[in-house]
Structure 1
Amino acid sequence: MFSTRKLTALAGAAIALATANAALAGTLVVRSTGPSAASYPVGKTLAADAKLALKPGDMITVLDAAGTRVLKGPGQVAVAGSGAATGSGFTALLANAGARQSRTGATRSAIGGGPARSPNVWYVDASRGGLQCVADTGTMAIWRPDNAAEGSATVTRESDGKSALVDFRAGQSVRAWPVDELPVVEGARFKIALAGAATPVTLKVTMVSPSSAELDGVASALLAKGCNSQMDVLVEGSKQESGSALAAK
């Protein structure tokens, strides 16, 4: 049998290891440009207490529980953030609740009248094609960037040409994916023709199982599959203030 002292020591070691692993797993490089990009490639894990030696022109975007922030050179730049990201906007970014999440969806940007960014990582952006990571086919939803007027999106399965029409009311940005007519499986390809768009976009589905519903778990799953459009939504929607260089010693 283990003595109390041994059990206490083992418990302490387990806690220390879990804490270290959490710190290491929680800080990811999600964008990297500049002279040091090769040293900090996308997907690289960084220790939470690390300081990066950056050169002029370096811009390294990291992601952890505090959100995403851009670390810029030159100088020694701390990886650590300012605390956990909170608030209803952040929760909405990651919630995989489908069309039930919002009554009206995102509205147009108040800055310059341009289209708003998708407010949720899991929405299928009807204006963009590419690879779409799906964690739950039952909550898939289609989002359109301009909800000023009534509109529609025609979704067509490439394998057999079967189509379904998704209608939007004026002021409505989000509608459920037509899962009964067009169920989604790994590798399925669809064309989405948004009313008023010059050409349809092509969507390819890949299934994912994030290790958690938190920011780092979702980001790791998206990075592993190469779902770049969704990573853009995740990075832009969880931005914190840029990191500042420390005085070099």
Structure 2
Amino acid sequence: MQSTRLFRFTAAAFALAFSTTSVATVLVVRAAGPSSKVYPPGKALPESAKIELRSGDSVMLLNTNGARTIRGPGTFAVATNDSPGAGANRRARFSAMRSSAVPLNPSPWNLDITQSGKICVANAGKLTLWRPQKDDAIKLTIKGAGTEQTIDWPAGTDTLAWPAALPVTGGSEYQLSQANSGDSARVTFVTLASAPADNIGTAQSLIANGCNNQLDVLVETAPSMD
């Protein structure tokens, strides 16, 4: 009797594990058009699902392999047979063409000093500043939380560590000003309890907290499955 119960428990556990691994999650990260209310950003779908789009609809889906955009009208399978390798090659070609214009932020966790808005921070001790133009040296003044600090950013460097003396706490707001150009941005920190495990978890956290600039970077750097 005990061996029978053990067999049933093992079989049930195996079935549960199989069903969990075989039903992957796909996340809506962008939506426009008449059906955008049905498929809002943050909506999770199983890979077995199909979505119905009307004329003018556009939905971008993200899974663990990359991102792809579906445009209506029509009924479309959420799953794709495209390989992540092929998508990565297309993304690399896209990035190469894009590099002649505005450089792409390499990580959604970098703080782009040219963008205002909410910034989700998973590791406050390793927050990195990033700038799209690195040819010239600049002076960056960061003001907020009752303090102010000006840092020298050397030419040829596009990243710099956030000053340790300035607190990175949830709700704290800072203004970042460049004396050379007069450009400025205002950011508000949202601190996360821990770093998400994968792109899906990252996208869900960014969407839930309104960190839209970082979501754009995540989508742009994901391999294209189109």
TM-score (norm 2): 0.86
User: Kindly tell me: are residues 177 and 234 of structure 1, through their superposed partners in 2, closer, same or farther at Cα, counting changes over 3 Å?
Assistant: same
Contact in 2 for aligned 1:186/1:205 (Cα 8 Å):
yes
| CA–CA distance in structure 2, aligned partners of residues 155 and 126 of structure 1 | 10
Match of 2:137 in 1: 150
Summarize deviations over 1:68-107 as a string: whole Å, max 9, x none. Answer: 11111122222113245797xx9xxxxxxxxxxxxxxxxx
Match of 2:95 in 1: none
Contact in 2 for aligned 1:126/1:194 (Cα 8 Å):
no
Within-5 A mapping of 1:205-220: 205-209=189-193, 212-220=196-204
Report deviation, 1:211: 6.6
Match of 1:5 in 2: 7
| CA–CA distance in structure 2, aligned partners of residues 166 and 173 of structure 1 | 14
Q: How many residues align?
A: 216
Within-5 A mapping of 1:1-40: 1=2, 3=4, 4-19=6-21, 23=24, 26-40=25-39
| CA–CA distance in structure 2, aligned partners of residues 235 and 199 of structure 1 | 26
Structure that is richer in strand per residue:
2
Match of 1:52 in 2: 51
What letter matches 1:47 in structure 2? P
Within-5 A mapping of 1:1-249: 1=2, 3=4, 4-19=6-21, 23=24, 26-81=25-80, 82-84=82-84, 110-111=99-100, 114-157=101-144, 159-160=145-146, 162-179=147-164, 181-209=165-193, 212-242=196-226
Report deviation, 1:224: 1.2
What letter matches 2:38 in structure 1? S
| CA–CA distance in structure 2, aligned partners of residues 204 and 57 of structure 1 | 34
Contact in 1 for aligned 2:168/2:189 (Cα 8 Å):
yes
| CA–CA distance in structure 2, aligned partners of residues 68 and 31 of structure 1 | 10
SS in 2 for 1:43: coil
**Contiguous gaps of at least 5 residues in structure 2:** 92-97
Report deviation, 1:204: 0.5
SS in 1 for 2:75: strand
Contact in 2 for aligned 1:133/1:222 (Cα 8 Å):
yes
**Contiguous gaps of at least 5 residues in structure 1:** 91-108, 243-249
CA RMSD of aligned residues (A): 2.4
Report deviation, 1:212: 3.4
| CA–CA distance in structure 2, aligned partners of residues 216 and 228 of structure 1 | 15
Report deviation, 1:171: 1.3
TM-score (norm 1): 0.78
